[in-house]
Chain A
Amino acid sequence: MVLRKLTIWGALSGASILESIRRKDLWVAVILSVLMIGAAGMLGRFGVKGLETFLKSAALTVVNLLSVVLAVIFTARQIPEEVSRRTVYPLLARPISRFDLLFGKFLGAYALSLLGLLLFALIAFGALKWFGLGVGTIFWQYLFLRALILGVVCAVTIGLSVFMTPQAAITISLLLAMVSQTFSSAVMLLEADSQQAGKLFLHGTYFALPQFNLFDLSSRVSFGWTTIPTVTVLQLTVYALLHIAAWLMLGALRFKRQAL
């Protein structure tokens, strides 16, 4: 049973990856990488002495930004395109459930997003090394947490994409991911001056929505702070897995009832 499920999910995610390669989606990542290399080369001409912290911060911000944008774009159209091109019918005619289809598509998009993240991180790492800047062991923790959060980003996006149009799913997912830090700070500020009902609402919203900013160690890497405790990494792993499961279940429930 498990083996059969794994085979189905593997086949569906493989098909998603092949489809993206065929559609030359990965060129987006390549073009963005070339832009990153160009920007690093241009900065190198001006000299980086004394700007180490700033450079690390800028490089990691670019990695965070591009990997999230790519993940959202890859994921948002997986299901809606299958439906609009009517290729979903032959797929569902086979002995696979709608959840299998959603999960397989999620895995495919996640694999592509990880590929993008690794590519951007490799370029950033290479550029920083080229400038003679070390990033320390914490960089690997940073990379692991970014890989985890991309899973949440993909789950949120695919979950939303069965409720709304791909464009709306992209907008909301990007908003959730990009303004996470601002949202968190705003909730903390508003909470202090709110009445009981307001506090309840803010607490509920804070705990219900995924806090993407908790997976960002870029500031620690840039300012040369030490690694974080392993127990915190484990707590974040559990947190990410719970959110991935919740958003996939939500998406699956909706997809199951959706008239195709």
Chain B
Amino acid sequence: MEEMPFNDISYRQFLNEEKLMGSRCKKCHALFLPPRPICIKCHGTEMEWVEIEGRGELRAFTCIAIGPPFMIEEGFNRKNPYCSGVVELKEGVRADARIEGVDTHAPEKIQIGMPLNVKFLHRQKEGIENTYLAFEPA
């Protein structure tokens, strides 16, 4: 695993395996999700892989009525909005993700700070597997 480059391709491969993987600076131990090849805290260039457990809290969200084509293909539209949010993991890093299991017709009831657990959404397109990061209420 150490040989895998610290990039988005590796990150997405891990998501396909239902693993949420970040990188940690070997020098200052700063943690990054998604993984970075260069530490933006101490400018160190040696990284190691770290698995993120996948428990966190909602920090910001939106319920989207007009989405991009790949979301429309999933059946989302003005009558069926979806939720996207920013989640703070208990390790301290944050992730942009789909938020499932919330009532997108009553967004005023969705609470910032609500506890969430990771969920992996597997999608096939033209024979290629893509996994999207999602969270749902704990």
- A and B assemble together: no
